[in-house]
Structures are given as C-alpha cells and as structure tokens.
C-alpha cells in the first residue's frame, strides 16, 4: 500500500506540474491525491509496520522509548490514524485561515484603491531609478502582504507608468526576484515561512534577525547587476493617466498594512496561534471599512434580497468573494497529501537517508534549487517531517530551519514557474518561460548564491 500512496503522490504532482498542458486546475489533482492517499492508509492500516508520531516527532518503530507499531491492535491503529489525521488537518487549517484573513485584508485595501497611493511616490522617468524603486518596494511589500500580492500590486502600478510591454517584462522579472527575497525573511511574507513559523520551527524575531541580511543581498546583487544592462539605461516615456482617487485609500492602506504587521507582535505577546491575531486584525480592518462605507452589514444576515444587496455592496463581502479560494484548496490538498506520507514514516526515513549521504547545508541548497522546478510548499512541508525533533540540532530556531526558509523562498526565482510570484507575473504580462530563463534566471541564481553565502558566513 505504501507503493500505491507514493505512486498517487507522484502522478498527482506530475499533473500539478503540467497544469497548463493538461488544462486542469492544480487544485483538482491536489485534492484527489489527498483523498486517495488517506484512503490508501485506511485500507492498508493493518499492514503497516511503522507510524510517525506527529505529536512527538518520532517514529513508532520500537527503538529507544518508542513503542513498536506492529504490536498495536486494529482499534489502537484506527484511533492513532484518526488522531493523526485530526492533528494534520488542524495544523493545515491554521495556515489556511491565516491566509484567508491576510487575503481578505488585502482585498479590502484594494476595494478602497489603497495601493494606488504607492504610485504617488514614484516620480521619475529614469529607467535605472525606477528599477531600484520597484525592487525595493517589492522587497518591503512582500514581507508584509506576501510575495504573490506584492507582485500583482507592482505590475499593476507598472502598467500605469510604462506602456512599452517589452520594457515592462524586464521590470516584472526583477520584481519576481525582489518579491521572493522579501518574502523569505518575514513570517508573513511567503506561505513556506508562514508554515515554518506556525509549525514552531522558527520565531518571528529570529527569522528576521537571521534572514534579513541574506535576503537583502539576494535582492541587491541582481538589481545592481541589472542596473547596468541595456534595458535599464536611459529614460522612459510615462503613460500615466490621472483618474479619480479614493480619498480614503491612503488611510485604508496604512491601516491594513499596520494590522498585518501587528499579527506577529500579537503572537509574541500572547503566545496564541498566529491565525487568532490575523482574525483580530481582519475584524478591525473590516469594521473600519464598514463604518467608512456607512452601510449596515451583518456577516450572518442571509436569506432575503435586501440582505443580499447589502452583502454585495459591502467591502467585506466583496473582499471575501475575491480571495483566491482555488489556492486555499490547493494548499489543503497538497499539505494533507504530504501529511499522509509523513504519517507512514516515508518522509522521515528519506530524511535519515539524506542525512547519511550529504551535509544538511548541501541538502538545503539542493532543495532551494529544486523549488525552482517543484513547488516550494510541499518541499517545505516534507522537510518539516524529515528530522528527529528530539535532536537539539533541529530544535526551534535551529540554523537549518532558517536556511530552509531562505532557500525555499528565494530558490524559486531561478525559473518563472518556480514561485507563485513568477506564475502570476507570467500570466499578467504573458512572459515566455524561455525568455525568463535566458534573461532573468542567471541574475536570480547569482542572488540566490550570494544570499546563501552570506547566511552560511554568519
């Protein structure tokens, strides 16, 4: 049955990778592989010889103080499977609810056209100056509103500044590098860092302390080199068109970003899970948005036409309707599929084999390169179950967890399909895979290696 489960994961992952060729949204194979993997565990439960205790972080194989899984009867195995499934589902939902809250706040800001405020600060027609401005903005914004959203915001702003599409895709490529670098040092900047933070592998302050300099180098080095390239020399003709601006946009931008930044502070002060702080922040932003809109709105009032009309005119309801639910369901499927393999001890045993064959640093470097081809979410999810948590080397805030956060976050920049930021830029600007590989990938590689070198040096 282990072979069946691994085969399901491989085929499902292949379908996710070939999403554009198959014309099938990646959430479908993700959910399918999750359901089939856990069904395989249920049907083959009595035949497994080992089980990974997710609570204790060790394998039930009879070694040391760990009991022998083979000695468990059917009822004990069934109870263990149910508790393990509930454990992984709970941890996964913590991440998903956190993401839903963050996405909703961003959509509320956008409802008031808050991000157009950023465009006011861009007052240049020099290509090189604009390059540094958008890369720095990408680095900072992605640490607050995540790298995917930061990329969307900045490309949208670029469209209002630059009409030449051939020039704009150069900026879009550099934004991908900057956004992924910025997301790596923040606990709310990338799904993978959020997973590590919520999984108690890293703390917010230590993540920032250890990764802000390597991430900054990862952004600065490629940007510095790119500033000498031909596309970024000279001036550009602005296609800026002034429209009616929402007067409340700047206020909602600062409030929304401030409340997102407040989440790690709330978590540190209360020791509550991060999603609790995100729900608090969302409720405050939504309350202010409703008061500003001067509309009566209840999240629970449904059933009549008047309530429905209020829903559709409400910024909160509008934001909830726009969030990326396919992405949320994709994360649910992929994380729970990885959890199925982790529960059988397959990932833990693979991690032990890797440790025996190469150093941890080499493994993480290769994993970062692999994230350019394979989505970094399952890679990080798998890495979180590879190591013996009773070993002090892999305790919270250990060197390896911060290195994994850096490598998985920035390594995906080396291919345009290697990160969410790259995929969304590819869709928005119709960037060719081979164009990016020829013109941007080498810059991303240099940045990745430079940042990794700084991290290892310190």
Q: What is the pLDDT of residues 122-175, one digit of tens each?
A: 888 888 999 999 999 999 999 988 888 888 888 888 888 888 888 899 999 999
80: in domain: no
Q: What is the pLDDT at residue 298?
A: 47
Q: What is the pLDDT at residue 268?
A: 85
The answer to whether the beta carbons of residues 47 and 5 sit under 8 Å apart is no
307: in domain: yes
Q: What is the pLDDT at residue 61?
A: 65
Number of domains composing the chain: 1
Q: What is the pLDDT at residue 239?
A: 61
Q: What is the pLDDT at residue 237?
A: 76
Strands 51-53 and 58-60: antiparallel
Give the whole-angstrom CA distance, residue 444 versus residue 225. 11
Which 3 state secondary structure label does DSSP give 55?
A: coil
286: in domain: yes
Angle at 168 between CA 214 and CA 443, to 5 degrees: 30
Q: What is the pLDDT at residue 306?
A: 47
- Domain coverage including residue 150: 95-322
Residue recorded with tokens 């990338």: 190
Give the whole-angstrom CA distance, residue 266 versus residue 163. 43
- For the record, the structure tokens of 81 come out as 């499977």
Give the whole-angstrom CA distance, residue 334 versus residue 328. 10
363: Cβ contacts below 8 Å, ≥ 6 apart = 354, 355
- For the record, the structure tokens of 248 come out as 């409340």
130: in domain: yes
**Strands (DSSP E) along 16-87, which ranges?**
51-53, 58-60
278: in domain: yes
**51 beta partners:** 60
Q: Max Cα separation, the chain?
A: 74
On the CB side of 18, CA atoms within 13 Å amount to 8
**68 beta partners:** 61
Give the whole-angstrom CA distance, residue 62 versus residue 29. 36
Q: What is the pLDDT at residue 297?
A: 43
Q: What is the pLDDT at residue 217?
A: 96
Neighbours of 453 (CB within 10 A): 12
Give the rounded distance of the alpha carbon of 369 from its chain centre.
17
Confidence (pTM): 0.78
Would you give the DSSP letter of residue 404?
Answer: H
Q: What is the pLDDT at residue 450?
A: 95
The answer to whether the beta carbons of residues 100 and 323 sit under 8 Å apart is yes
The answer to whether the beta carbons of residues 164 and 205 sit under 8 Å apart is no
273: in domain: yes
The answer to whether the beta carbons of residues 189 and 183 sit under 8 Å apart is yes
309: in domain: yes
Mean pLDDT for each 10-residue chunk of the chain (458 residues)?
Answer: 88 80 84 93 85 73 66 83 89 87 88 83 86 93 87 86 87 93 90 87 91 95 94 78 71 91 89 91 92 60 45 71 82 87 82 81 88 78 75 81 92 84 82 89 94 92
Q: What is the pLDDT at residue 301?
A: 45
């Amino acid at each position: 049955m282990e072979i069946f489960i691994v085969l399901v994961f491989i085929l499902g992952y292949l379908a996710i990778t070939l999403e554009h060729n198959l014309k099938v949204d990646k959430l479908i194979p993700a959910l399918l592989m999750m359901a089939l993997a856990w069904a395989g565990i249920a049907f083959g439960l009595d035949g497994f010889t080992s089980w990974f205790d997710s609570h204790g972080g060790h394998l039930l194989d009879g070694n040391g103080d760990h009991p022998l899984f083979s000695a468990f009867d059917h009822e004990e195995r069934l109870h263990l499977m149910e508790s393990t499934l509930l454990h992984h589902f709970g941890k996964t939902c913590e991440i998903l609810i956190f993401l839903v809250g963050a996405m909703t706040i961003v959509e509320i800001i956008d409802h008031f056209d808050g991000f157009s405020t950023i465009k006011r600060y861009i007052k240049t027609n020099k290509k090189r100056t604009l390059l540094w401005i958008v890369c720095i903005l990408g680095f900072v914004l992605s640490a607050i509103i995540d790298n995917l959203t930061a990329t969307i915001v900045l490309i949208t702003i670029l469209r209002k500044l630059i009409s030449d599409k051939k020039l704009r895709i150069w900026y879009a490529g550099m934004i991908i590098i900057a956004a992924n670098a910025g997301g790596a040092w923040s606990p709310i900047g990338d799904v993978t860092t959020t997973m590590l933070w919520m999984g108690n592998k890293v703390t917010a302050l230590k993540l920032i302390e250890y990764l802000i300099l390597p991430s900054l180098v990862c952004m600065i080095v490629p940007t510095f080199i790119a500033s000498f390239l031909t596309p970024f020399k000279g001036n550009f003709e602005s296609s800026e068109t002034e429209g009616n601006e929402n007067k409340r946009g700047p206020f909602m931008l600062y409030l929304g970003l401030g409340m997102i930044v407040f989440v790690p502070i709330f978590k540190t002060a209360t020791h509550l899970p991060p999603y609790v702080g995100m729900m608090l922040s969302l409720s405050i932003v939504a309350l202010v948005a409703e008061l500003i809109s001067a509309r009566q709105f209840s999240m629970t009032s449904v059933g009549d036409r008047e309530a429905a009309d209020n829903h559709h005119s409400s910024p909160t309801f509008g934001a909830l309707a726009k969030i990326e639910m396919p992405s949320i369901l994709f994360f649910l499927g992929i994380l729970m599929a990885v959890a199925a393999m982790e529960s059988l001890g397959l990932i833990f045993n693979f991690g032990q084999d890797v440790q025996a064959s190469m150093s941890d640093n080499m493994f993480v470097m290769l994993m970062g390169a692999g994230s350019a081809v394979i989505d970094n979410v399952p890679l990080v999810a798998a890495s979180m179950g590879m190591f013996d948590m009773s070993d002090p080397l892999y305790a919270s805030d250990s060197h390896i967890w911060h290195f994994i956060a850096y490598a998985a976050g920035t390594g995906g920049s080396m291919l345009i399909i290697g990160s969410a930021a790259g995929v969304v830029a590819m869709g928005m600007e119709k960037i060719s895979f081979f164009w990016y590989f020829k013109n941007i990938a080498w810059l991303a590689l240099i940045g990745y290696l430079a940042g990794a070198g700084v991290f290892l040096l310190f």
